[in-house]
Structure 1
Amino acid sequence: MKILISVDIEGVAGVFHSQQVRAGNPEYERARRLMTEEANAAIAGAFDGGATEVWVNDSHGDFRNMPPDLLDERAQVIQGKPRYLSMVAGVELGVDGVCMVGYHSRAGGRGILAHTINSFAFAGIEINGEPQGEAGIYGTLAGEYGAPVLMASGDDAFIAENRPLFPHATFVQTKRATGQNSGISLSPAQSCAAIREGVSAALAARGQARPLLPARKPLAVVLRTQTPALADLFCQWPAFERSGATELRFDAPSMEAAVRILNCCSAMSAMLR
């Protein structure tokens, strides 16, 4: 059994503030180690549950947060960018399921450090009329490769948003959101123990899970930007239709195509920082 573990940082126990998730801040150095510890808990849970191969995908920011020498040596690590499949790179290797560790609420959500893909550029994303966060977007991309989401961890707002998308997945709550930058967290040790147990249980119940697929194609994507200047920039792309001061639309033949387009926009936004 082959398992991919995608690891973000905002949903990790003890992480509440942007200074903890951005390189160059002293607090980031501690937070990246908390992220690595939760990744190791998930790796251990996967092997407890019968996995024979495990890949761990560094899925935050520049995708090179977790020190490889601190990761469980039984897993192979996927780091660095750009890469076409982004937060679920590795699904193309023929995995049997995906675990999402340290994930967070979507842009506009009530969760801790809520955003979707790029908090500077994107105010919200809708696909086929439904608001989407990273779990929904990348869970669908994994589904296009036949891999169901088996387990996910994060705060209570993240879980409430995504349980309907993944009804057979095992969810682990690491903290409770009381604001954008505040909440009540498990200790790192408690969170790691719960993640290890959750991953193991999820693998045992994997027969119930089904890949998430879009209701219809082509996908109708609506991107709301943080400023009109960002919409000006993105609409240099001829396939985009400007539908408002901070809104644009485009169609995509698949979630993989939508992800690649959105990540190009994210990269373009750097020129306006």
Structure 2
Amino acid sequence: MRVYISADIEGVAGVVTAQQGQPGNPEYERARRLMTEEVNAAIEGALAGGADYILVNDSHGPMVNIIPEMLNPAAELILGRPKKFNMAAGLDQSFDMLFFTGHHASAAQYGVLAHTTNGFAFRTIKLNGQIVGEPGFYGAYAGELGVPVALISGDDQTELENRLFFPNAEFASVKAALGNRAARQMSVHNARALIRDLAQKAVERKNELKAWKPFTGRIHAEFIMNSPLLADQMAIIPCAKRTDATTISFDCANVAEAVGWMGVLSGLSASVR
């Protein structure tokens, strides 16, 4: 039983401000420890459920947040960026399920630190007209590989948004959003216990899970940028289509290709910061 974990930080219990996700301050150092412990809880639960291989991909910001010496040694770890397929780097058809830990709601939606991939660049991302956040986008990519989403942890808005896509997944809602930078949350110890229990349950329910395959044929990927300036920059890509002041779109062969274009746009956005 092979489990892949895409680990983010904004949905972790105890994290509510942007500063906690930014290296170089004491709050970040605390948050990365909290993140690592929630990943450990997912690993422990997966092992208890029968997993025999676990791969963790650090999926937040600089992607060197998880503290390697604190991570459960039963798991392998992917650190650093840039990397192909970004938050799903290393995911392939050999995996039996995908966990998202510490995730959050999509850009321009209600939820703690809600954004999609790059908060500076993207206001909204759509696949064939459907708004998707990070679990939705990468969950659709996983579906193309035949890998089902089995567990998502984060705030209550993360569950509300993604339960529509992944009705058979386990959801560990460790906090309730009171705004973009405020939440009512359970203790970090209870959050870890919840994640551990649901990770075990998810692995034990492996035969009930189905990969999410919402799209057939080509994919129309729309990226609504946060400003016309950003769209100006993205419009230089020869195959990009600009449909209005802030929207850039691509016709893609599959979700995997759309993931690639998202990475290109996110990287290009840095040049106009």
TM-score category of the 2 structures, normalised to the smaller one: over 0.9
User: For 1:91, what is the secondary structure of its paired residue?
Assistant: coil
Measured after TM superposition, the shift of residue 83 of structure 1 is 1.5
Alignment-derived partner of residue 184 in structure 2: 184
The CA distance in 2 between the partners of 1:157 and 1:92, in whole Å, is 28
Matched to 1:185, the amino acid is Q
Alignment-derived partner of residue 86 in structure 1: 86
The CA distance in 1 between the partners of 2:257 and 2:195, in whole Å, is 31
Alignment-derived partner of residue 29 in structure 2: 29
For the Cα contact (< 8 Å) 1:12–1:154, is it kept in 2?
yes
Measured after TM superposition, the shift of residue 163 of structure 1 is 0.3
Query: Any gaps of 5 or more consecutive residues in structure 1?
Result: none
The CA distance in 1 between the partners of 2:89 and 2:198, in whole Å, is 22
Measured after TM superposition, the shift of residue 25 of structure 1 is 2.4
Matched to 1:227, the amino acid is S
Deviations 1:49-82 (A, max 9, x none): 0001111111101211111111001110011112
Query: Any gaps of 5 or more consecutive residues in structure 2?
Result: none
For the Cα contact (< 8 Å) 2:2–2:96, is it kept in 1?
yes
| 1:228-243 map, 5 Å | 228-243=228-243
| 1:109-124 map, 5 Å | 109-124=109-124
| 1:168-179 map, 5 Å | 168-179=168-179
For the Cα contact (< 8 Å) 2:93–2:146, is it kept in 1?
no
User: For 2:203, what is the secondary structure of its paired residue?
Assistant: helix
| 1:205-224 map, 5 Å | 205-224=205-224
Alignment-derived partner of residue 52 in structure 2: 52
Instruction: Give the share of equivalent positions with the same residue, in percent.
Output: 42
The CA distance in 1 between the partners of 2:39 and 2:150, in whole Å, is 15
The CA distance in 1 between the partners of 2:45 and 2:161, in whole Å, is 24
Measured after TM superposition, the shift of residue 97 of structure 1 is 0.4
Deviations 1:217-270 (A, max 9, x none): 211111111111100000100111111111122111111111111111101111
> What TM-score do the two structures reach when normalised by structure 1?
0.98
For the Cα contact (< 8 Å) 2:58–2:77, is it kept in 1?
yes
Alignment-derived partner of residue 257 in structure 2: 257
1:96 aligns with 2:71: no
For the Cα contact (< 8 Å) 1:128–1:216, is it kept in 2?
no
Matched to 2:115, the amino acid is H
> What TM-score do the two structures reach when normalised by structure 2?
0.98
Deviations 1:173-222 (A, max 9, x none): 11000100001011111100000001000111121111112323211111
User: For 2:92, what is the secondary structure of its paired residue?
Assistant: helix
For the Cα contact (< 8 Å) 2:93–2:145, is it kept in 1?
no
Measured after TM superposition, the shift of residue 130 of structure 1 is 0.7
Alignment-derived partner of residue 153 in structure 2: 153
Matched to 1:261, the amino acid is W
Matched to 2:255, the amino acid is M
Aligned length: 273
User: For 2:243, what is the secondary structure of its paired residue?
Assistant: strand
The CA distance in 2 between the partners of 1:204 and 1:126, in whole Å, is 33
The CA distance in 1 between the partners of 2:93 and 2:70, in whole Å, is 24
